[in-house]
Chain A
């Protein structure tokens, strides 16, 4: 089951440390997204990218950073500035445009101790 992969599945970090979550896709999609999923909160958009070397802030970008140097990859860094980093993080990709289906990865559960 390729398509879109995220690693690692579980991640533990100490408070104050930056951590980078990996997201890779082989679907040849131009657009990629990062969401945060918290119980009772649904999915909230952190960052998105429509094309290589370009990305935009989503609804809750504070404390996060991204890069898009390759079409296949869209890593997310959770910085020490993020006040509540413990969460389930989902990556998605789609063809460019507003109404295309988004394909989701399996997610990474980050726990900050």
Chain B
């Protein structure tokens, strides 16, 4: 079974401070990991994915297979980063493995 754990329900930081949203996963094969974000009154949308290795809005995430983690990081948080962040996992291969499994989410608040 595949599982995603986001240990922090709430995270509060000050503007300009570094931020790290934690994500750990459990999967027997080689997973593909994603971060989705939901800003206030907006749709859930993809922030970044491991396979593309992009930096979006200053956020990066590194897949650590040894620690089974995919933590989301940003060196200097901005107020507009305040949102709900979801880590998600999709298993590699065909058949039923392609479905996304989401963590429970972390609500990030960046204070001025």
| Interface residues of A, Cβ cutoff 8 Å to B | 33, 35, 40-45, 48, 56, 58, 90, 92, 97-99, 101-107
In the complex, what residues of B have CB within 8 A of residue A107's CB? 43
Decide if B112 is an interface residue (CB 8 Å cutoff): no
Could you tell me if A102 and B9 are in contact, using CB atoms closer than 8 angstroms? no
A56 partner residues in chain B, CB cutoff 8 A: 96
When the two chains form their complex, are residues B91 and A98 in contact, meaning their CB atoms are under 8 A apart? Answer: yes
Q: Does B46 sit at the interface, judged by CB under 8 A? A: yes
Query: Which of these, A42, A45, A98, A101, contacts B94 with CB under 8 Å?
Result: A98
Give A106 to B103 CA distance when docked, in angstroms: 20
Task: Tell me the dominant secondary structure on chain B's binding face.
Answer: mixed
Given contacts A40-B104, A106-B43, whether A48 and B51 have CB atoms under 8 Å apart is no
A44-B90 Cα distance, complex, nearest whole Å: 14
B77 CB to nearest A CB, Å: 22
Are B32 and A102 neighbours in the complex by a CB distance under 8 Å? no
Given A40-B9, A45-B99, A48-B99, are A99 and B43 neighbors across the interface (CB < 8 Å)?
no
Give the chain B neighbours of A44 by CB distance below 8 A.
102
Name 26 interchain pairs, CB-CB below 8 A, sorted by A.
A33-B99, A33-B100, A40-B9, A40-B104, A41-B104, A42-B6, A42-B86, A42-B102, A42-B103, A43-B44, A43-B86, A45-B99, A45-B100, A45-B101, A90-B44, A97-B98, A98-B92, A98-B94, A99-B92, A99-B98, A101-B46, A103-B45, A104-B45, A105-B43, A106-B43, A107-B43
